[in-house]
């Protein structure tokens, strides 16, 4: 990992094949409109295709994120394939652990919560920094994330 792209309140939205397009694009747009430093981060460079065929080019690949400087906050947008691919990559575990150690949050949309919550229970003291969408509407969830990221 070679390039530092991290700032104090940086938000990373992690992407892998099969991501849920609607929450990804909606949360990205709302956070950028709120002037948060948010970036789409893919497992590798190049295009990533969502579960319904939308193709996105992430701003950065995971290799561009220094392991010793995590994002302040991480959003995992869901999709079983996306979530499974993300959790199969040790760099993602390292990023999540570093983010939680810095007292940042790991947020998940409905489609990622069940899979991610199993992983986060393995990390000590992470539950207070785990922000699942739960039964919130996507709009309310995006507002909640913006508020959490600006505190």
- pLDDT tens readout for residues 57-106: 999 999 887 644 557 899 999 888 999 999 999 999 888 888 888 888 88
Q: Rank 41-55, 87-101, 113-127 by mean pLDDT and report only the highest.
A: 41-55
Q: Is 48 helix (H, G, I), strand (E, B) or coil?
A: strand
pTM of the full structure: 0.88
pLDDT at 49 over 60: yes
pLDDT at 126: 61
Sign for the pseudo-dihedral over CA of 58, 64, 66, 69? negative
What are the pLDDT digits (tens) for 125-143? 566 788 889 899 999 999 9
User: DSSP string spanning 88-113?
Assistant: T-HHHHHHHHHHHHTT-EEEE-HHHH
- Beta strand pairing status for 55-56 and 48-49? antiparallel
Q: How far apart are CA 21 and CA 119, in angstroms?
A: 23
Residue 78: CB atoms within 10 Å = 25
Q: How far apart are CA 49 and CA 80, in angstroms?
A: 13
DSSP state of 114: H
The rounded percent of the chain whose pLDDT value lies above 70 is 83
Q: Is 21 helix (H, G, I), strand (E, B) or coil?
A: helix
Q: 4: which residues sit within 8 A by CB, 6+ positions away?
A: 66, 69
Q: How far apart are CA 124 and CA 85, in angstroms?
A: 23
């Amino acid at each position: 990992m070679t390039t530092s792209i991290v700032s104090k309140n940086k938000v990373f939205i992690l992407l892998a094949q099969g991501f849920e397009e609607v929450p990804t694009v909606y949360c990205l747009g709302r956070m950028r409109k709120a002037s948060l430093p948010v970036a789409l981060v893919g497992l590798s460079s190049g295009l990533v295709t969502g579960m319904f065929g939308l193709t996105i080019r992430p701003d950065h690949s995971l290799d561009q994120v220094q392991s010793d400087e995590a994002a302040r906050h991480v959003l995992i947008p869901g999709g079983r394939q996306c979530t499974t691919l993300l959790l199969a990559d040790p760099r993602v575990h390292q990023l999540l652990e570093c983010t939680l150690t810095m007292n940042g949050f790991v947020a998940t949309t409905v489609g990622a919560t069940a899979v991610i919550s199993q992983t986060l229970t393995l990390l000590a003291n992470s539950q207070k920094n785990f922000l699942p969408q739960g039964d919130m509407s996507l709009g309310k969830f995006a507002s909640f994330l913006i508020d959490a990221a600006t505190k």
